[in-house]
């Protein structure tokens, strides 16, 4: 079994573990006593750790010349986090001085560290494996990520039923078992370590923090159009694509996801009037549709280009969020969820391929980590915006703000692509 096939299977199982808890996570937090504002605080706090951990793990995997170690560690941490989250109703009453929802904070932080370790190293390893393919990278990435979405959708269909039939914490026990299985499979990954970027040396928190801050200064320089900070790749000679659109797409996409989907299940249940089972089935409808749409999105991005696909994907998201405001009723909400699957796939498959191919092997972990970190920055603002605007104004107002962000992204990517083509037309022909 090749590493690419094994990574696809592991991703499928990992996303099954997410699918069984994702649609009910905010409802579980509410049952433990969290308000909409506290949901925002929870999301913001964990996103801060995502920013730090994503770059730290990506940088470390480049320095060590290994991805597998961080993937195994991440999966192990996630399994522990899911188990303890499921047990909150068991041990919280024994510690009566602390409200049950408070335990979600340290556990979400633990899960964030595990997710960042696995996701960053996984994306870098996928880039390593796809490096030998001169074409079709987007389609291959679509297969890998689409399989993961299929796993999410498969379990999301059952999440609400399990929560309604047994208890709302039972899906977390199932998630922990699936994560343990993914860990066992990851042990079988065969990795050929590559040349380290530099000697690892001794680790010092002070110097590590200074390097971390320096890289975010580099990120803002990248957004301003200067990629020099990431041109030091001495191991691989792959393409060096501009990083600014990648980082901006990660930021805006996470801003939207962090705001809208932090409270989406609550909106569908308490405002639209659907049951928990129907809410999870709607979520699963979108997730399941992502399997073919991911493959289609990756294939199209190979042919029309990364930036046009990002622009179309963001436009699709603007339509989806508007649909939540205008037609949150059957059967139109099902159509909106299918469009959501297409929009999600167009953005995700394209951006993941972009991140994987933007730099060579010795800097791929850094780029993947920075991609995740910028997503974390977006999630921080999104999580703060979602629950807070909902509590202070309304669901519809918050959705409207997210729609404007998606439209701005669609216009930005279209303009960047137009300028790139104009530059190509006016550039002198090399003889």
Question: In this predicted model, what pLDDT tens digit does every residue of 334-390 receive, in sequence order?
Answer: 999 999 999 999 999 898 888 777 666 666 666 776 777 788 788 888 877 887 888
pLDDT single digits (tens) 110-149:
998 898 889 878 887 887 777 666 566 677 787 888 888 8
Provide the strand spans (E) within 331-375. Answer: none
pLDDT reported for residue 206: 44
In a domain, 201, yes or no: no
pLDDT reported for residue 200: 42
CATH number at residue 327: 1.20.1250.20
**246 or 76, greater pLDDT:** 76
Distance CA 158, CA 277 (A): 8
CA 64, distance to chain mean position in Å, is 24
Distance CA 149, CA 290 (A): 6
Residue 204 has pLDDT above 50, yes or no: no
In a domain, 309, yes or no: yes
Average pLDDT value for residue range 197-203: 44
Distance CA 15, CA 147 (A): 9
Residue with tokens 């405002």: 271
pLDDT reported for residue 346: 92
Distance CA 416, CA 11 (A): 32
How many C-beta neighbours within 10 Å does residue 192 have?
8
pLDDT reported for residue 355: 78
Range with the lowest mean pLDDT among 24-28, 98-102, 235-239?
A: 235-239
**223 or 391, greater pLDDT:** 391
pLDDT single digits (tens) 49-63:
766 676 666 666 666
Range of the domain at 121: 3-189+242-422
In a domain, 308, yes or no: yes
In a domain, 320, yes or no: yes
Please count the structural domains in the chain. 1
Helix extents (H) in 131-195: 137-165, 170-186
Summary mean pLDDT of the chain: 81
Angstrom CA distances, 182 to 7, 20, 73, 147, 185, stand at 10, 15, 12, 14, 5
Residue 3 has pLDDT above 70, yes or no: yes
In a domain, 222, yes or no: no
Exposed (0-12), middle (13-18) or buried (19+): which is 189, by Cβ within 10 Å? middle
pLDDT reported for residue 163: 87
Residue 314 has pLDDT above 90, yes or no: yes
pTM of the model: 0.70
In a domain, 70, yes or no: yes
In a domain, 289, yes or no: yes
In a domain, 13, yes or no: yes
Rg (CA), the chain: 21
């Amino acid at each position: 079994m090749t590493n690419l096939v094994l990574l696809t299977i592991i991703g499928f199982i990992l996303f099954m573990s997410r699918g069984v808890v994702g649609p009910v996570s905010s409802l579980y937090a509410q049952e433990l006593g969290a308000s909409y504002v506290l949901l925002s605080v929870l999301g913001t706090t964990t996103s801060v750790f995502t920013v730090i951990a994503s770059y730290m793990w990506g940088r470390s995997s480049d320095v060590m010349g290994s991805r597998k170690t961080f993937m195994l560690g991440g999966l192990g941490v996630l399994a522990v986090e899911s188990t303890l989250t499921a047990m909150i109703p068991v041990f919280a009453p024994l510690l009566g001085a602390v409200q049950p929802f408070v335990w979600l904070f340290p556990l979400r932080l633990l899960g964030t560290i595990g997710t960042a370790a696995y996701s960053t190293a996984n994306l870098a390893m996928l880039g390593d494996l796809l490096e030998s393919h001169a074409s079709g990278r987007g389609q291959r990435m679509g297969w890998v990520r689409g399989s993961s979405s299929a796993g999410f959708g498969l379990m999301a269909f059952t999440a609400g039923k399990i929560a309604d039939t047994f208890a709302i914490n039972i899906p977390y026990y199932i998630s922990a078992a699936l994560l343990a299985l993914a860990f066992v499979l990851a042990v079988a990954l065969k990795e050929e370590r590559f040349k380290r970027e530099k000697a690892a040396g001794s680790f010092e928190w002070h110097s590590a923090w200074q390097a971390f801050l320096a890289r975010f200064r580099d990120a803002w320089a990248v957004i301003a159009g200067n990629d020099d900070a990431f041109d030091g790749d001495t191991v691989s000679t792959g393409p060096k694509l501009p990083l600014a659109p990648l980082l901006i797409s990660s930021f805006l996409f996470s801003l939207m996801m962090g705001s809208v989907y932090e409270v989406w299940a609550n909106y569908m249940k308490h405002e639209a009037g659907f049951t928990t089972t129907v809410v999870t089935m709607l979520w699963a409808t979108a997730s399941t549709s992502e399997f073919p749409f991911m493959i289609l999105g990756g294939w199209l991005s190979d042919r029309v280009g990364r930036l046009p696909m990002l622009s179309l994907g963001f436009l699709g998201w603007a339509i989806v969020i508007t649909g939540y405001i205008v037609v949150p009723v059957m059967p139109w909400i099902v159509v909106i969820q299918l469009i959501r699957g297409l929009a999600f796939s167009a953005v995700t498959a394209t951006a993941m391929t972009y991140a994987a191919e933007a730099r060579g092997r010795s800097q791929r972990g850094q780029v993947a980590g920075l991609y995740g970190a910028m997503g974390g920055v977006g999630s921080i603002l999104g999580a703060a915006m979602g629950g807070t605007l909902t509590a202070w104004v309304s669901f519809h107002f918050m959705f409207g703000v997210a729609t404007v962000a998606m439209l701005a992204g669609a216009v930005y990517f279209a303009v960047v692509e137009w300028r790139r083509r104009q530059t190509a037309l006016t550039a002198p022909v090399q003889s």
